[in-house]
Structure 1
Amino acid sequence: MELPLVVGIDGSEHSLRAVDWAADEAAVRGVPLRLVHAASREGDDLPRADVRGGPSAGEPADSVVDIAARRAHRRDGNLKLSVRISDGDPVPALLREAHDAVALVLASRGRGRLVELLLGSVSLGVAAQAGCPVIVLRGRHDNQARAGTRQRVVVGVPEQRLPAAVRFAVDEAERRHVVLEAVRVWRRPLHGSGAAGHGPGEHADGHERRAADGLASAVRDAVADRPSVEVLEQVVEGAAHLVLLDASTRADLLVIGARRGHGPHLGRVAHTLLHHSVCPVAVVPQPA
């Protein structure tokens, strides 16, 4: 079974932009695209199965998905496309779809039931719990999957190993034929925390060296069988959320990892990037 790329839609211009991005990404990956619309309105009896025909007269949900389907086919007429309408709330509906998807794409804002600032309850909730990578579109309309303007994928590589995110970033850089920038952030130790016999400067240098060695190891493992991927390693002192926010200004896609198994929550870094990144952000789950 060929797993689809899933995109959440609600009829807003932001979600139609997500359809554009997802159609390009599906074409790059060579996978089908599935449009998912969660319509939670009391009294509706909407189908849960795939809907492959045109819109039904007088049915707003069908109209939403029909417009989105036509938009996707304008991006790529050969795209394999399916549509699913759910009568449940958006977060559980999208999480169900994530069980059988290569990735899930969401807009950063929506309307109607999704407007709970899609970036409050929906995008954050899905990104924190989905079993597949979740890509939340941020930034301007020139951020496209197939023809990125910055020709770079950036991945944050924390000290706590999250290899799934690094592998995902390598795959995306290879598909796009762009540079992969791998970033490891380190912090200078507090005064008085250095090892005996070492001054503050020496101790800081040791932290930086260990950060560089850890980054090199993580990248080496991920690109061992991908010699065509050009990798730029960056070791930066500072706060991770600020360093990666700055890195988003030079990327077409920013990739971060999220460890699963510790509750439906995202950390400060993910929250900051999902709200303020200049480019789309991919949150890649790492099993506990």
Structure 2
Amino acid sequence: MTKQQTITAGVDGSPNSLDAAGWAAREALRRDLPLHVVHACDPPAEDNRLPEFDVPFHREAGALGRAVQQLTRAYPALGILDEQVTGRPTGALLAAARSSALLVLGSHGSGALSRVLVGSVALAVAARASCPVALVRAGHRPEGEHRGSAAAHHNPVVLGLDLDRPGDELLEYAFDAAASRQAPLHVVHVWTAPLVHSADALEPMPEKERLLAAELSSWRHKFPGTEVTERVVHGLAGHHLVEAASTADLLVIGRCVPTGPHLGQTAHSAIHHSRCPVVIVPHY
């Protein structure tokens, strides 16, 4: 995985995006990286230069300053870079992703602009960004984590792993996330029986467990201080991953780049139902 320069948070002025920016700040402290805070919005059209159009625009344009002020007070040791972009949020965030180790967005919220972010921007960015994207629920704060502190107790990190397309980038991110939190890593592989049954499909569990153990072997050696548990289950991947992450600090899933710029059913299920932040990692 290429080492990039910043943790980037996209803000839109909503409480949800401020919560996500706070999570991004703690992640930046944990990794000893600066925080890049980005706000993008479209200006009103030239033929709409009337007070009723300009005031909402200027109010949203002040969202960046308010976010930086709040983050500076909460995390005085953190280096913060701010950037105001005039234009479409999706394009601005995808551009910022190219120089980011992680891009953080709010995944749920209220208000017209927040609904736009969740519905069209957050999902579009998560499906196309060149770096991992974390989607954070409003109000999320792991138990035991204190304001301004990066060194706190954390619940497990859960990794959903497809053995057909495991991806080194995905595995490295999950192991690194667990190690930086001094947290255990729970690796879950979910399989579904084929439509046409075969002799191999009758008892696939032992073979899948063997393949999973083999896939994780080298990573265990690279991260000897990380406690790793592994589990193979049958059923719907989204359901089992959300269940496994019910007490987790983080859920990590992959997006296979060769399949195109879209999110699959498992990612959608995780984003909409997981109570912890979800990180979507592009990989080959």
TM-score under structure 1 length normalisation: 0.85
Distance 1:28 1:240, change over 3 A: same
Structure 2 equivalent of residue 54 of structure 1: none
Q: Secondary structure at the match of 1:131?
A: coil
Structure 2 equivalent of residue 93 of structure 1: 92
Q: Does 1:138 align with 2:137?
A: yes
Q: Which has the higher helix share?
A: 2
Structure 1 equivalent of residue 71 of structure 2: 72
Structure 2 equivalent of residue 52 of structure 1: none
1:75 Cα deviation after fit: 2.8
CA distance, structure 1, for counterparts of residue 124 and residue 260 of structure 2: 11
CA distance, structure 2, for counterparts of residue 77 and residue 7 of structure 1: 17
CA distance, structure 2, for counterparts of residue 165 and residue 263 of structure 1: 17
CA distance, structure 2, for counterparts of residue 246 and residue 140 of structure 1: 20
Distance 1:150 1:80, change over 3 A: closer
Distance 1:141 1:284, change over 3 A: same
Identify unmatched segments of 5+ residues in structure 2.
47-56
Distance 1:86 1:269, change over 3 A: same
Distance 1:109 1:171, change over 3 A: same
Identify unmatched segments of 5+ residues in structure 1.
45-57, 196-201
CA distance, structure 1, for counterparts of residue 263 and residue 136 of structure 2: 17
1:62 Cα deviation after fit: 4.9
Structure 1 equivalent of residue 25 of structure 2: 23
CA distance, structure 2, for counterparts of residue 169 and residue 137 of structure 1: 17
Contact 2:7–2:102 under 8 Å retained in 1: yes
What is the letter of the counterpart of residue 29 of structure 1?
A: R
Q: Secondary structure at the match of 2:173?
A: helix
Q: 1:157 aligns with which of 146, 154, 161?
A: 161
Q: Which moved more, 1:239-248 or 1:60-69?
A: 60-69
Q: Secondary structure at the match of 1:232?
A: strand
Structure 1 equivalent of residue 81 of structure 2: 82
Contact 2:179–2:226 under 8 Å retained in 1: yes
Q: Percent identity?
A: 36
1:129-155 CA-to-partner distances (Å, cap 9, x unmatched) read 000000001375333694777521000
CA distance, structure 1, for counterparts of residue 28 and residue 254 of structure 2: 21
What is the letter of the counterpart of residue 189 of structure 2?
A: R
Q: 1:229 aligns with which of 226, 230, 245?
A: 226
What is the letter of the counterpart of residue 202 of structure 2?
A: A
Q: Secondary structure at the match of 1:82?
A: strand
What is the letter of the counterpart of residue 169 of structure 2?
A: A
Q: Does 1:170 align with 2:175?
A: yes
Distance 1:59 1:79, change over 3 A: same
1:60 Cα deviation after fit: 3.0
Q: Which moved more, 1:258-267 or 1:120-129?
A: 258-267
Q: Secondary structure at the match of 1:86?
A: strand
1:90 Cα deviation after fit: 1.0
Alignment RMSD (CA, Å): 2.3
What is the letter of the counterpart of residue 194 of structure 1?
A: S
CA distance, structure 2, for counterparts of residue 249 and residue 64 of structure 1: 32
Contact 1:35–1:84 under 8 Å retained in 2: yes
Contact 1:133–1:282 under 8 Å retained in 2: yes
